[in-house]
Structure 1
Amino acid sequence: MAKSSFKMEHPLERRQAEAARIREKYPDRIPVIVERAEKSDVPEIDKKNHGYAFVKSVLKIEWPLEISTATFTASVFYPLYLVPADLTVGQFVYVVRKRIKLSPEKAIFIFVKNILPPTAAMMSSIYEENKDEDGFLYMSYSGENTFGLL
């Protein structure tokens, strides 16, 4: 996976502070940044109508939040999901499919560090094994098995 545009936009210290704040405020949720893989043939997640997206909930919060100027002030929005820890990867793939409005006959693959995680794996275990030093879990998606690892 190419370096996340979210990582390129925000310094490590800011990302760490934001992830820590999110985990403190929502301890039962996992902060996941989801971006389309380069050269993917599937639609991009609409970033303009996205903020925190609470999976399995109707609550959306505009992101960046109204917080101190010492944290995020970017005008670009990133697909940040606050995922229940007990959600499976397969259930999360379903959420992403809905967000990008992918037709049922099209395939979608979700990658963590260029590896296709098992669909039955819990997001909490994927997070613990693969979270970035900043505290976020980075995932990419593609319409094809770009990396060839199953």
Structure 2
Amino acid sequence: MRSQFKDEHPFEKRQAEAARITQRFKDRVPVICEKVENSDIPEIDKRKYLVPVDLSVGQFVYVIRKRIKLPSEKAIFIFVNDILPPTAALISTIYEEHKDEDGFLYVLYSGENTFGEKIPIDLSSIDFTKEYIPENI
């Protein structure tokens, strides 16, 4: 998926800005956060973030949720290079593994799991008071 930020800013400018940021702020990573096109979720008010290296993906999702004023009952998914990163992973780890060649980490968010299949689940027949142990272990 194409980034609007990349479309609006030439590579050299993005690369220079990311280098300046990482040199000046050793404890932060430069992140571009954009909504997945055609998603039914609100647009975020700003795209550029300096995210603390010790922030988890789950905490960053919370920041996004607050900025778009998304109610807690609504789902939000974030994607980095078309994958759902683990919520417990640190942003610094995701940055090192998935940063773009320009030096920014590109995060997309959506109200639906756009890169996976939607599977309706009927939870009415599940007894949540019992421990479930898979048979194939």
TM-score with structure 2 length normalisation?
0.83
Task: Name stretches of at least 5 consecutive residues in structure 1 with no aligned partner.
Answer: 48-78
Q: Write the deviation string for residues 103-130 of structure 1: whole angstroms up to 9, x where unpaired.
A: 1100000000111000001100000000
SS of equivalent residue, structure 1 residue 35: strand
SS of equivalent residue, structure 1 residue 38: coil
* Pairing of 1:93-104 with structure 2 (within 5 A): 93-104=61-72
Q: Write the deviation string for residues 59-104 of structure 1: whole angstroms up to 9, x where unpaired.
A: xxxxxxxxxxxxxxxxxxxx11100001100000000000000011
Instruction: Give the drift of 1:46.
Output: 1.6
Among residues 104, 112, 132, which one is paired with 2:100 in the alignment? 132
Determine the C-alpha separation between the residues in 2 that align with 1:38 and 1:114.
13
* Pairing of 1:1-150 with structure 2 (within 5 A): 2-47=1-46, 79-148=47-116
Determine the C-alpha separation between the residues in 1 that align with 2:38 and 2:83.
17
Give runs of ≥4 in structure 1 deviating > 4 Å.
none
Letter in 1 for 2:72: P
Q: Which has the higher contact order (CA 8 A, sep 6+)?
A: 1
| Paired residue total | 117
Q: CA RMSD in A?
A: 1.0
Determine the C-alpha separation between the residues in 1 that align with 2:62 and 2:10.
31
TM-score with structure 1 length normalisation?
0.76
Determine the C-alpha separation between the residues in 2 that align with 1:90 and 1:23.
22
Instruction: Give the drift of 1:34.
Output: 0.2
Q: Write the deviation string for residues 22-50 of structure 1: whole angstroms up to 9, x where unpaired.
A: 11111110100000001111100124xxx
Task: Name stretches of at least 5 consecutive residues in structure 2 with no aligned partner.
Answer: 118-137
Determine the C-alpha separation between the residues in 2 that align with 1:27 and 1:11.
24
